Amino acid sequence: MDILITVGIFPPDIGGPASFVPKIAKYLINKGHNVKIICLSDKEHLTYKDDINVIRINRSSPIIFRWLKTIVKIYSNSKKSDLIFVNGLGTETTIANLFIRKKVIRKIVGDPVWERVYNKNLIDESFDDFQENNHGLFISIQKMIRNWSINNSNLIITPSQHLKNFIDKIGFDKNIFVINNGVNIEQHNKVVLENNIIQLLVVSRLVSQKNIDSIIKAVKVMENENIILNIVGDGSEINNLKLLVKKYELDKKINFIGKIENTKLNEYLKNADIFIQASNYEGLPHSILEAMNFEIPILSTDVGGCSVLLNKGERGYIIPMPVSEVEISEGIRTIINNKNEAKSKAKLAKNYLNQEHNFNTNAEIYDEKIKEVVKSQ
């Protein structure tokens, strides 16, 4: 079976789809499918391992040119495909598919309209409030295009019930299926550092909704304590965040790691004492799943799919909303001062991960759904 996967971010980018797509592509290839990936990238000519055919489109190109090029690439590369699996570039895929009429499975991990306007500081509403409230013409048109694109899918997959409810409200009248995000479950040996420095870790796209600035301010609140913050990832807020670190004179406390390969990321996960996620919204974050896999105590907002993962604080520690540096610093101190409890919660999280978020188990369901959609009339 020939499958085209579209996605907005792909390694070396950091983010949920960039974690999921390479793994599901490799799994499907091992199952005998032919897979191509079309993605946006900072560079068009980067190669990727595992013999996966990746077609990259420069995201820094002028937006109209990039948009048209993406549509043409999707059109030309899906002519022989049995199915398009959309993990991003949804509107471009829908337009291209007007001319080729391929079966489409779409994975929904959030609302691109909310994320776009929130990160441009055009709104200050939660994910759920944004869906309910009325907005001006500019945003309303984007919502209409989003709904049209989603409704031109044969099957919708979401990683959480919360996102399924979001799609239900849009009025999608076909199948919606919840498949948990998953990771490759492994036993990792924790690195115990001898200098007693508490290593804080953030793995994230550096955009406004992630509240990385509040985490930096929390380190400022705790600047006299023996902590280091490592920030893995890149994004539109990188320069502002670096200026904030300079303003607070935290250069020796905070490290910007940038985009890194998974093998290098694993080293940071092994060294981490506390994993922090302070986002205003998450679908069901791969980054938290990876932290659970390494049995790292988690400090996170209780939003979207995170509420399922944390289970009211049973498997981690909750940052109250709205996010503030005070709440984050208090959460860090709570974990530091209750190490045995934090370790117990991390073990509960790992056990839960084994039961519900095993990648290979969940990937089998994706394979089944792909075959069902292709065979359907």
Residues 205 and 339 in one domain: yes
Residue 332 DSSP one-character state:
H
- The yes-or-no verdict on residue 252 having pLDDT over 80 is yes
Residues 88 and 40 in one domain: yes
Q: Which of 190-204, 205-219, 267-281, 321-335 has the lowest mean pLDDT?
A: 190-204
- Let me know if residue 189 belongs to a domain: no
Phi/psi-derived region of residue 101, left when phi > 0, alpha when psi is between -120 and 50, beta in every other case: left
Residues 23 and 157 in one domain: yes
Could you tell me what percent of the chain has a pLDDT over 70? 98
- Let me know if residue 187 belongs to a domain: no
Residues 220 and 276 in one domain: yes
Residues 296 and 325 in one domain: yes
Q: What is the pLDDT of residues 219-240, one digit of tens each?
A: 999 999 999 999 999 999 999 9
Residues 368 and 319 in one domain: no
- The yes-or-no verdict on residue 194 having pLDDT over 70 is no
Note the pLDDT of residue 189.
Answer: 65
Distances (CA, A) of 338 to 193, 314, 320, 352: 18, 14, 19, 21
- Let me know if residue 8 belongs to a domain: yes
Note the pLDDT of residue 195.
Answer: 62
- Let me know if residue 192 belongs to a domain: no
- The yes-or-no verdict on residue 193 having pLDDT over 60 is no
Looking at every residue in the chain, the average pLDDT score rounds to 94
Q: What is the mean pLDDT of residues 155-180?
A: 93
Range of the domain at 307: 198-356
- The yes-or-no verdict on residue 188 having pLDDT over 90 is no
- The yes-or-no verdict on residue 335 having pLDDT over 70 is yes
Q: What is the mean pLDDT of residues 190-194?
A: 57
Note the pLDDT of residue 190.
Answer: 66
- The yes-or-no verdict on residue 310 having pLDDT over 80 is yes
Residues 220 and 120 in one domain: no
As for how many domains the chain has, the answer is: 2
Residue type for position 164: K
All residues at 6 or more sequence positions from 87 whose CB lies less than 8 Å from its CB, including other chains: 5, 6, 7, 8, 17, 20, 21, 107, 109
Q: Which of 87-101, 182-196, 287-301 has the lowest mean pLDDT?
A: 182-196
Residues 214 and 335 in one domain: yes
Residues 114 and 216 in one domain: no
Alpha-helical (H) ranges within the chain are 16-30, 63-78, 90-97, 112-119, 127-132, 137-151, 161-170, 212-221, 238-247, 262-271, 286-293, 306-310, 325-337, 339-356, 359-375
Residue 41's DSSP bridge partners are: 58
- Let me know if residue 280 belongs to a domain: yes
Residues 202 and 173 in one domain: no
Residues 177 and 83 in one domain: yes
Residues 157 and 274 in one domain: no
- The yes-or-no verdict on residue 192 having pLDDT over 80 is no
Distances (CA, A) of 94 to 152, 249, 253: 7, 48, 46
Q: Is residue 375 very low, low, confident or very high in pLDDT (cuts 50, 70, 90)?
A: very high
Q: What is the mean pLDDT of residues 12-31?
A: 95
- Let me know if residue 263 belongs to a domain: yes
- The yes-or-no verdict on residue 75 having pLDDT over 90 is yes
- Let me know if residue 191 belongs to a domain: no
What is the CATH number for 266? 3.40.50.2000
Note the pLDDT of residue 50.
Answer: 73
